[in-house]
Amino acid sequence: MPLPGTDPGTPFLLRSVYLKSLRDVRHGLVGWSIGIALLVITESLIWPSFRDMPDIEKLFSQYPDYMQRLFDVSAMTSGIGFINSELFTLMLPVLFLVHAIGRGARLVAGEEEDGTLDVLLVTPLSTTRILLEKAAALVTGVFALGLVLYVVTMTCSLSIGMGIGPLDALSGCLSMVLLGSEFGLIALAAGAATGRKSLAVAVPAALAVAAYVLYVAGLLVTSVDPWQHLSPMEQALASGPLGGGLPLDFLWLALGCAVVTVATLPMLDRRDIAAPG
């Protein structure tokens, strides 16, 4: 079914908001995929030398207690623990958040600032359908990065003997996908609500920092512990996340994605959107 307002001869990929959104980001996804793959490969190649260091367990026992809690450094003597500490507890969450937030901010607010969103809105497509398809494209892109991460992690584990099983890798990669998707959708919502790309980036970025601070505070301060579970960071990272199985916390992340998406749908109808002067 062609996108209303397009010529019947338009290539298939350009006939829906969803496919058009994916087409627009295809080169970026390739670049991000290569970057993530190189990062995992580099850290994996470091593992054999790290594993063979003498007295490594004694070294880790001397780390401060707060570092033990935050990065679980005592588990770094295993392949799963090493990759968890080096990648899945900080570097990969940051990369997935940066990608998803940046993409979510461009999907609506970026198009509005460029003056192209109004062209889409004058077609017979409802704003609900436009936002749903853009949200689906965002999640698909994040999922694609998660799939690349899974394949590279498993390939490195099998090649180097890191002991990371399929379910171990699945839990870690799924946590990155869910975490990135939730904050990317918040960026999409902020962009739809304000039409300003700067705010569409700033709002979810600030929330992500707050979520991480709450997560870390819950690990270090007993009085904060009851509130820690409200943090999406805790929901994504507390189980490992690599090798943590499929905890119920992942359902909270998925629910957060759904709630943000539903809250986003009426936002364009509430605003008067016009092409820039």
Instruction: Note the pLDDT tens digit of each residue in 141-195.
Output: 999 999 999 999 999 999 999 999 999 999 999 999 999 999 999 999 999 999 8
SS in 3 state form for the chain?
CCCCCCCCCCCHHHCCHHHHHHHHCHHHHHHHHHHHHHHHHHHHHHHHHHHCCCCHHHHHHCCCHHHHHHHCHHHHHCHHHHHHHHHHCCHHHHHHHHHHHHHHHHHHHHHHHHCCHHHHHCCCCCHHHHHHHHHHHHHHHHHHHHHHHHHHHHHHHHHHCCCCCHHHHHHHHHHHHHHHHHHHHHHHHHHHHHCCHHHHHHHHHHHHHHHHHHHHHHHHCHHHHHHHCCCHHHHHHCCCCCCCCCCCHHHHHHHHHHHHHHHHCCCHHHCCCCCCC
Question: What's the pLDDT at 277?
Answer: 43
**Is residue 276 situated within a structural domain?**
no
**Is residue 56 situated within a structural domain?**
yes
**Is residue 227 situated within a structural domain?**
yes
**Is residue 8 situated within a structural domain?**
no
Domain, as residue range, for 69: 16-270
Question: What's the pLDDT at 113?
Answer: 87
**Is residue 171 situated within a structural domain?**
yes
**Is residue 7 situated within a structural domain?**
no
Chunked into runs of 10 residues, the chain (277 residues) has average pLDDT values of: 47 70 93 97 89 68 64 73 89 96 94 83 85 96 98 96 93 96 97 93 97 88 86 90 88 96 89 54
Contacts of 64 (CB under 8 A, 6+ apart): none
Report the C-alpha gap between 172 and 167 in whole angstroms.
Answer: 9
Question: What's the pLDDT at 12?
Answer: 45
What's the total number of domains in the chain? Answer: 1
**Is residue 6 situated within a structural domain?**
no
Query: Is cis: bond before 241, omega within 30 of 0?
Result: yes
Question: What's the pLDDT at 221?
Answer: 83
Report the C-alpha gap between 150 and 126 in whole angstroms.
Answer: 36
CA 1 to the chain's CA centroid: 31
**Is residue 5 situated within a structural domain?**
no
Question: What's the pLDDT at 114?
Answer: 85
